[in-house]
């Protein structure tokens, strides 16, 4: 009779262990960093999918999309994204990724800009892609820093962020906490660089090989502004 309880006890223990691991993962425990990628109506597909693929493919990160609400948003005029989390309910955010696209839909939203401003200040790291730099600039996150953005947005960023040194010839710029990248595909390079900075170059190269992405950091033109940030 006593042995009859063994399968039941084992089942309970396994269930508890599974629940604990799942909960820890969702909360970003076990050394994981939570990466939140902002999505909004008109977000550029590769701007968010590129960094998303890098972080989601690298052990040590938990990656999720986030938006003002849980309604699907259109990207690239050919598909829609259902956000995993909303501004009202989400795990702790360690790394905030702000992609480009129809940035006006964010710049003219008081709710979204207030959230970006608050979250950007609280997060450990902020990474913008393409004209996502205009979003974090409007949130005051680029004041006194150096930055880059999409080639077509250089002049606009200089006008809206007069206290920011804007580079037109760099793939990305690392200020320590805030990293900005140039247009579209540059977000992949900046994300791999950030993985390298946090977890080592070999980890980043393994991710690039998995993605079959020809990543050659030694040939990239970028700038590390903050001493000790690594390159």
Same domain for 191 and 152? yes
Q: What percent of the chain has pLDDT over 70?
A: 85
**Together in a domain, 58 and 165:** yes
CA distance 149 to 75: 20
What's the average model confidence in pLDDT over 86-93?
A: 97
**Residue reference for tokens 């994300």:** 191
The C-alpha atoms of residue 50 and residue 184 are separated, in whole angstroms, by 8
Report the run of H or E that residue 179 belongs to, with start and end. strand 178-181
Least confidently predicted of 17-21, 52-56, 144-148: 17-21
Cα separation values, 158 from 61, 78, 113, 129, 165, Å = 33, 32, 19, 16, 8
The 10s digit of each residue's pLDDT in 117-146 is 999 999 999 999 999 999 999 999 999 999
Q: Would 125 be classed as within a structural domain?
A: yes
- Torsion 62-65-70-71 (CA) sign: negative
Read off the pLDDT band of 27 (50, 70, 90).
very low
What's 131's domain CATH number? 3.40.50.880
Bridge-based pairing of strands 146-148 and 178-181 is unpaired
Query: Is 5 in the same domain as 93?
Result: no
Joined together, the tokens standing for residue 110 give 């008081």
Mean pLDDT confidence for 36-40: 98
Cβ pair 73, 43 in contact under 8 A? yes
Provide the pLDDT for residue 227. 55
What does the alpha-carbon distance between residue 129 and residue 50 come to, in Å, rounded to a whole number?
10
Asked if residue 125 and residue 20 are part of one domain, the reply reads: no
Angstrom distance (rounded) from CA 129 to CA 186? 7
User: Looking at the structure, do residues 5 and 113 belong to the same domain, yes or no?
Assistant: no
Q: Which of 13-17, 85-89, 120-124, 196-200 has the lowest mean pLDDT?
A: 13-17
* Structural domain of 21: 1-30
Residues 18, 132 share a domain = no
What are the phi and psi torsion angles at 117 (to 5°)?
A: -60, -50
Indicate whether 127 and 43 sit together in one domain. Answer: yes
Does residue 65 form part of some domain? yes
Whether residues 178 and 220 fall in one domain? yes
Same domain for 165 and 74, yes or no, is yes
Domain total in the chain: 2
* Average pLDDT of the residues in 59-73: 98
169-179 residue pLDDT tens: 999 999 999 99
């Amino acid at each position: 009779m006593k042995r009859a309880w063994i399968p039941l006890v084992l089942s309970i223990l396994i269930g508890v262990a599974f629940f604990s691991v799942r909960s820890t993962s969702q909360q970003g425990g076990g050394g994981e960093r939570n990466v939140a990628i902002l999505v909004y109506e008109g977000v550029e597909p590769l701007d968010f999918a590129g960094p998303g693929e890098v972080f989601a493919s690298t052990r040590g990160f938990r990656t999720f999309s986030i938006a003002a609400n849980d309604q699907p948003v259109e990207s690239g005029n050919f598909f829609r994204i259902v956000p995993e989390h909303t501004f009202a309910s989400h795990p702790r955010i360690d790394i905030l990724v702000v992609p480009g696209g129809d940035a006006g839909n964010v710049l003219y939203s008081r709710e979204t800009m207030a959230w970006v401003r608050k979250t950007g200040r609280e997060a450990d790291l902020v990474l913008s892609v393409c004209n996502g730099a205009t979003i974090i600039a409007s949130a005051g996150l680029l004041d006194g820093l150096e930055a880059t953005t999409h080639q077509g947005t250089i002049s606009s960023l200089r006008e809206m962020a007069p206290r920011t040194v804007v580079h037109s010839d760099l793939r990305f710029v690392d200020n320590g906490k805030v990293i900005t990248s140039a247009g579209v595909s540059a977000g992949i390079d900046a994300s791999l660089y950030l993985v390298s900075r946090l977890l080592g170059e070999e980890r980043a190269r393994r991710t690039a090989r998995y993605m079959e992405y020809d990543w050659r950091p030694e040939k990239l033109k970028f700038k590390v502004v903050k001493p000790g940030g690594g390159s």
